[in-house]
Amino acid sequence: MHAGIIFLLVIVGSILFHIFTPWYWTDIASNWGGMDSTITLTFWVGGGVFVAVCLFMVYCLFRYSHKEDRRAEYKPEDKKLEKILTWATTLGVCALLAPGLIIWNQYVNVPKNALEVDVMAWQWGWQYRLPGADGKLGTTQVRNIADNNPFGINPDDPFGKDDVMIESDVINLENNRPVKILLRSVDVLHNWYVPQFRSKMDAVPGTVTFYWFEPNKVGEYEVLCAEYCGVGHYAMRGGVEVQDKADYEVWLSEQETFEQLSARYEKLNVVDGNKLAKK
Partner 1 sequence: MSDEHDNNKSYQAQSSEVLDGSAGSINPDMDYVRPAEIPEQDLYHAHSFIEKWIFCQDAKVIGVQYFLTAVFTGIVGLILSWLMRLQLGFPELAGFMTAEHYYQFVTMHGMIMVVYFLTALFLGGFGNYLIPLMVGARDMVFPYVNMLSFWMFFVAVMVLMASFFVPGGPTGAGWTLYPPQTILEGTPGSGTGILLMLISLSLFVIGFTMGGLNYMITILQARTRGMTLMRMPLTVWGIFTATVLAMLAFPALLVSAIMMTLDKVLQTSFFMPTILKAGEVLEYGGGSPILFQHLFWFFGHPEVYIVALPAFGIVSDLISVHARKNIFGYRMMVWAIVGIGGLSFFVWAHHMYVSGMNPWFGFFFATTTLIIAVPTAMKVYNWILTLWRGNIRINTVMLWCLGFIVTFVNGGITGIFLGNVSVDVPLSDTYFVVAHFHMVMGIAPLMVIMGAVYHWFPLVAGKMLSETLGKWHFWITFLGAYSIYFPMHYLGFIGVPRRYFEMYDSPYMTSTVGMNEFISVAAFIVGAAQFILVFNIIKTLKTGKKAEQNPWKANSLEWYTSTVPPEHGNFGERLPVVHRWPYDFSVPGAKDDFIPQTTAPSEVANTEVEKT
Chain positions 159 to 218 lying near partner 1, rule: CB under 8 A, are 183, 186-189, 191, 193, 195-196, 198-207, 209, 211
**Residue 77 in contact with partner 1, rule: CB under 8 A:** yes
Candidates 181, 226, 242, 261: give the one binding partner 1 (CB under 8 A): 226
User: Residue 177, exposed/middle/buried by CB under 10 A (0-12, 13-18, 19+)?
Assistant: middle
CA distance 199 to 94: 23
User: Could you say which residues in the range 24-43 bind partner 1, by CB under 8 A?
Assistant: 24-26, 32, 34-36, 38-39, 42
Is 203:119 a contact under the CB 8 Å cutoff? yes
Q: How many CA atoms are closer than 13 Å to the CA of 22, on its beta-carbon side?
A: 0
Residue 115 pairs in a beta bridge with 179
β-pair type (237-243, 219-225): antiparallel
User: Residue 266, exposed/middle/buried by CB under 10 A (0-12, 13-18, 19+)?
Assistant: exposed
CA distance 40 to 182: 29
- Minimum CB distance to partner 1, residue 273 (Å): 22
- Minimum CB distance to partner 1, residue 138 (Å): 18
- Minimum CB distance to partner 1, residue 100 (Å): 4
**Residue 233 in contact with partner 1, rule: CB under 8 A:** yes
| CB closer to partner 1 out of 5 and 250 | 5
| CB closer to partner 1 out of 114 and 252 | 114
What angle, rounded to 10 degrees, do the helices at 79-108 and 33-63 form? 160
Candidates 44, 82, 267, 269: give the one binding partner 1 (CB under 8 A): 82
Phi then psi for residue 186, to 5 deg, are -95, -10
- Alpha carbon distances (Å) from 109 to 102, 179, 183, 213: 11, 12, 16, 11
**Residue 12 in contact with partner 1, rule: CB under 8 A:** no
**Residue 107 in contact with partner 1, rule: CB under 8 A:** yes
User: Could you say which residues in the range 127-156 bind partner 1, by CB under 8 A?
Assistant: 142-143, 145
**Residue 275 in contact with partner 1, rule: CB under 8 A:** no
- Minimum CB distance to partner 1, residue 254 (Å): 27
Candidates 122, 126, 248, 258: give the one binding partner 1 (CB under 8 A): 122
Tell me the window of 16-24, 158-166, 171-179, 254-262 that interacts with partner 1 (CB under 8 A): 16-24
Candidates 5, 10, 15, 250: give the one binding partner 1 (CB under 8 A): 10
The DSSP annotation for 30-64 comes to BSTHHHHHHHHHHHHHHHHHHHHHHHHHHHHHHHS
Candidates 167, 234, 268, 270: give the one binding partner 1 (CB under 8 A): 234
Q: Is the peptide bond before 124 cis (omega within 30 degrees of 0)?
A: yes
Candidates 5, 12, 60, 250: give the one binding partner 1 (CB under 8 A): 60
